[in-house]
Amino acid sequence: MINNLGIQFETFYNENIVGYFKSLQESPFKLISFIIDAVIVIFLLYYTIKMLRGSRAWQLIKGIALLVVITILSGALNLKLLNSILSGIMNWGVLAILIIFQPELRRGLEQLGTNKLTKFFGIDSDIATKTKEDIYKIVIAASELAKSKTGALIVIERDIEIKDIIQNGVVMNAEVSPQLLVNIFEPKTPLHDGAVIISENRIAAAACVLPLADDKDIAKELGTRHRAAIGISKESDSIVVVVSEETGKISVAKDGTLIADVREDVLKKILISNIVTKRFTTERKDRKITIRKNKKIKDKKEEERKEEK
C-alpha cells in the first residue's frame, strides 16, 4: 500500500510539476504568466488570512483544512467507506462555505472596494464620503457631550500614524457612531478617562494616554485634556476635539495650537477642510502631477528618437 502511494506521488510529480516547469523553460511568456499568477495567488491568500485571522471564521477554516487532509489520506490509504462519506461532504463544501462565511465574505468585498489598491486607481470617492459621515458623527457626539458638560478627548489620526498611543489604550476597532462615543465618555465608566483614537475611519482605541504639552506660554487655566490635545497635535498631524468638563465648550487642537470655544457648524467646517478637503485634494493633485511628469518624459523620449532618426 505504501509502495503504491509512493508510485502515485512520483507519477503525479513527474507528469504535473516537472512537466509544468519544463514547459516554462521552453516559453518565456509562460514564465511571466506564472510569476504574475503566483503573485496574485499569494496576495489573495495573505489578504484572506489577514481578514479572517482572529475571527470566528478562522476556527472554521482550521476544521475545513483538517477535513480536507483526512479525505486525502483516506483515499490514499484506500479507506473506501470513510473516503466516500467525506467525499460526499466535500461535494457540498463550496455551498456550505458560501453560507457559513457569508458575513465575512461580504465584509471582505466591502474592504476590497475601499482599500488602498482602489484608491491608487482614483476610486477614492467612497472613502471621502465615509470620512465626511464619520466627521458628522463626531460633531454630533461632541455637541451632545458639550450639552451635558461631559469631558471628552477625541483624536483623529491623519497621515502620521500614532500606533504607540493606540497600543497603550484599550483596543476597540469599532465603527464610528455618536452613541458609542457619548457612551465611552460617560462618567464612572471604565473607558471615560483618557482619549479616543479614530484611525482609518474606525474607533481604534479608547482610554489612551496622550503626551502633555508643557509650554510655558499655554494658559494656566487650561486643564489636562487641553494640554494633552495640544501635546499630541504637536507630536503628530492629528486633529483633536476637546470638550471641557467645567464649561461644556468645544475646542480643536491642530499643529500645536488650540482653537477655543467653537460652535457646531464651525467644528464641522474645520474638520472637513483639514481632513477631507485637504487630504483628497492633495492626493488628486499628486496623481495629476505624476501623470503630467510621465507624459513630459514620454514626449521628451519621443522627440529624442525623432532627432536620432
> How far, in Å, CA of 281 to CA of 302, rounded?
32
Is residue 122 in some structural domain? no
Q: Is residue 307 part of a domain?
A: no
Q: Both 52 and 180 in a single domain? A: no
Residue 68 falls inside a structural domain:
yes
Residues 101 and 159 in one domain: no
Q: Render pLDDT for 195-245 as a digit per residue (tens, 0 to 9).
A: 999 998 999 999 999 988 876 656 667 788 999 999 999 888 899 999 999
Question: CA 92 → CA 77, 97, 98, 101, distances in Å?
Answer: 23, 9, 10, 14
Cα distances from 25 to residues 10, 18, 38, in angstroms, run 21, 11, 16
CA dist 253 and 230 (Å) reads 6
Q: Is residue 96 part of a domain?
A: yes
Contact 155, 233 (CB under 8 A): no
Q: Which of 113, 141, 168 is the last residue of a domain?
A: 113
For residue 33, being part of any structural domain is answered with yes
**Rounded distance between C-alpha atoms, residue 155 and residue 271, angstroms:** 11
* Residues 155 and 270 occupy one common structural domain: yes
* Residue whose grid cell is 491568500: 45
User: Does residue 163 sit in the same domain as residue 233?
Assistant: yes
Q: Do residue 107 and residue 131 come from a single domain? A: no
Q: What is the pLDDT of residue 89?
A: 75
**Model pLDDT, residue 120:** 46
Whether 37 is in a domain gets the answer: yes
Query: Residues 81-109: pLDDT tens digits?
Result: 888 887 777 777 667 666 766 665 665 66
Specify the number of domains making up the chain.
2
Q: What's the rounded Cα separation, in Å, for the pair 290 and 26?
A: 39
Nearest to 182 by CA among 132, 223, 139, 218: 139
Residue 301 lies in a domain: no
For residue 188, the model assigns a pLDDT of: 86
Q: How many residues does the chain have?
A: 309
| Domain annotation covers residue 28 | yes
Say what the pLDDT of residue 37 is: 81
Grid cell in block for residue 123:
476610486
CB 162 within 8 A of CB 155: yes
The whole-number pLDDT of residue 204 equals 95
User: Of 113, 143, 162, which residue constitutes the final position of a domain?
Assistant: 113
Residues 138 and 257 occupy one common structural domain: yes
Residue 256 belongs to domain spanning? 127-274
Sort strands 202-208 and 239-243 into parallel, antiparallel or unpaired: unpaired
Paired sense of beta strands 195-199 and 202-208, if any = antiparallel
The predicted structure's pLDDT at residue 129: 85
Query: First vs last Cα of the chain: how many Å apart?
Result: 72
Statement to judge: residues 206 and 139 lie in one domain: yes
CATH number at residue 215: 3.40.1700.10
Intervals of the chain under pLDDT 50: 1-3, 5-6, 114, 116-123, 282-291
105 and 131 in one domain? no
